[in-house]
Structure 1
């Protein structure tokens, strides 16, 4: 609605694989999308694109790689967007899991972000609201493109097409920000990050190449013996009774990788890691 044509840029091996236009069988991706591969060589962080997009989608801390971006690196994206007239859609669903001081909890910690960025927040990951469906979008009034206020545009669309979250869900969301709620969320996040540290450290000791698990509840590991991600899925299920997610499901650059999550009990996590290590 803001720019036509729209050329979004998505991070490959991210929550959004990026689908638009016609599928290109030679490149094995979709036309109209600028892909930013997240590889081991670049620390699973996207690099600034050579082509200038209208929309940039970033997700940090990242699903599935578990990578996080420092404030200095994120500032580069904000400066790039302001210089080129891009709009950043910043998905901060895993913000509650950040543990390192140099990793920003919001893109608005960066100077100039209010004139180029939209931030998405979810209650699903920090408060376990996955089935409850509650979140919010931040669109600063300073964000204007082609003379159009995106805040006003969103308010008009939201006011005419959305009736709001149910009252009982709103009350649950309110409880998240109470003193008791914040304490309970801190304990829950800490519990899952204890699992993440266990998975990361024990697999690293066992010789796996692993990343993530520090600022996100995901561990991203290279599949052993040059297995494809689906071959490793079958191998792990058959020999260890452990289920994870093949990396190829997140985009072409996810091939050769595998995602494990920390969303389980500590006891079951310990059992699963022991089974993997015994293979």
Structure 2
């Protein structure tokens, strides 16, 4: 007789952060990667094309990489070596961001905090706000806003029947309301996360809509966290920055990134604007507290990445970025044309590298699975962005041209 001896694993006496237990399954994009890997085990010879996660694919313009290479090589010399830099970012880069993106909007170098990306800054902002604030998000929206809120303890439990967390105000954005929430039915919250052009819908808010949003925030004494990570993709005259709206500096923070402009998804470089005019209820400067957070939690962006950021904002670098963005926007047109030709209702595309496709009455994860199983193309299920995304999929335009054309061909064969 064989005796099996089971040893119970050693456990510490440290209790788990109860907020982590509230999170649903895995974060959206690792879950998609897991399902893609499972699909490849089933079909090892399949040529899987990923139009799911919003990861750039085209090379970084040479003017930018050469500046990073030069800075990197300089670190081998006594004259060129540098260690820790300013946590807020290098002065020259902060000034270039202010002048390039905020020109005559009254945003100064000192209002800019350079970082390792907008996603990281979203979490730092949540640390700044703490656990006692209430928050609102567009529905659907980028999942990092909600998940970071859950981790911080700002929310209640996940309500399975509604696919929502308690204590979060979900601002529904649908084709019927032009993907801009009906603010008259939105409850007051301390913080409002707002992304324009929106990820995942690809829709940019108009000047009139953002004027209403700023007034709503002022009337309620709220702070807007405005994510403008796709602003350079705009093709119309919608505002590129929340600070184009009068009064926004008193109620808004803006975060942005070089990730989708210059292919810096792996290089990691972004920034957040916290205007000096923005004050807490006790009159204390929000920027001063954010500066303390940055100095405590962060040692500054890579000096090599910052050299690349400065090159991005040179005339040649700006042209290089616009050329790459133009390439992705051509991909977007191909994807839009594909789904339009099949009779689907398609949104986005014009102002962002995302196409939002409606499959009414269907589970978005089922549509994701159907497309993956039958075409070997990875998309993103809309419900991963909130309950308002159910019945939609997001298709990313980041991809090599041949892959986008091949994916479009396979999708046409599936739904013809």
State the TM bucket, normalised to the shorter chain: over 0.9
Query: CA deviation digits over 1:9-49, x for unaligned, max 9?
Result: 01121103623232234433212211111222112222214
User: How do residues 54-65 of structure 1 correspond to structure 2 at under 5 angstroms?
Assistant: 54-65=190-201
Q: Which one of 118, 121, 131 corresponds to residue 253 of structure 2?
A: 118
CA shift at 1:161, angstroms?
Answer: 3.0
Please say if residues 171 and 186 of structure 2, whose CA atoms lie closer than 8 Å, have aligned partners that are also in contact.
Answer: no
Structure 2 SS opposite 1:58 = strand
Give the structure 2 partner of residue 207 of structure 1: 343
Higher relative contact order (CA 8 A, sep 6+): 2
Give the structure 2 partner of residue 230 of structure 1: 365
Q: Determine whether 1:159 maps to 2:295.
A: yes
What value does the CA root-mean-square deviation take over the aligned residues? 1.7
Partners of 1:238 and 1:50 in 2: CA distance? 39
Q: Determine whether 1:137 maps to 2:137.
A: no
Q: TM-score, normalised by structure 2?
A: 0.64
Please say if residues 196 and 218 of structure 1, whose CA atoms lie closer than 8 Å, have aligned partners that are also in contact.
Answer: yes
Partners of 1:254 and 1:86 in 2: CA distance? 25
Cα pair distance change 1:2/1:193, threshold 3 Å: closer
Higher strand share goes to which structure? 1
Structure 2: 5+ residue runs without aligned partners?
1-127
Give the structure 2 partner of residue 277 of structure 1: 412
Please say if residues 71 and 104 of structure 1, whose CA atoms lie closer than 8 Å, have aligned partners that are also in contact.
Answer: yes
Number of corresponding residues: 277
Partners of 2:366 and 2:312 in 1: CA distance? 41
Higher helix share goes to which structure? 2
Please say if residues 2 and 145 of structure 1, whose CA atoms lie closer than 8 Å, have aligned partners that are also in contact.
Answer: no
Partners of 1:251 and 1:83 in 2: CA distance? 27
Structure 1: 5+ residue runs without aligned partners?
none
Q: Which one of 121, 124, 142 corresponds to residue 15 of structure 1?
A: 142
Query: CA deviation digits over 1:91-135, x for unaligned, max 9?
Result: 00001101101x100000000001000000111111111122211
Structure 1 SS opposite 2:377 = coil
Please say if residues 3 and 54 of structure 1, whose CA atoms lie closer than 8 Å, have aligned partners that are also in contact.
Answer: no
CA shift at 1:137, angstroms?
Answer: 0.6
Q: Determine whether 1:247 maps to 2:382.
A: yes
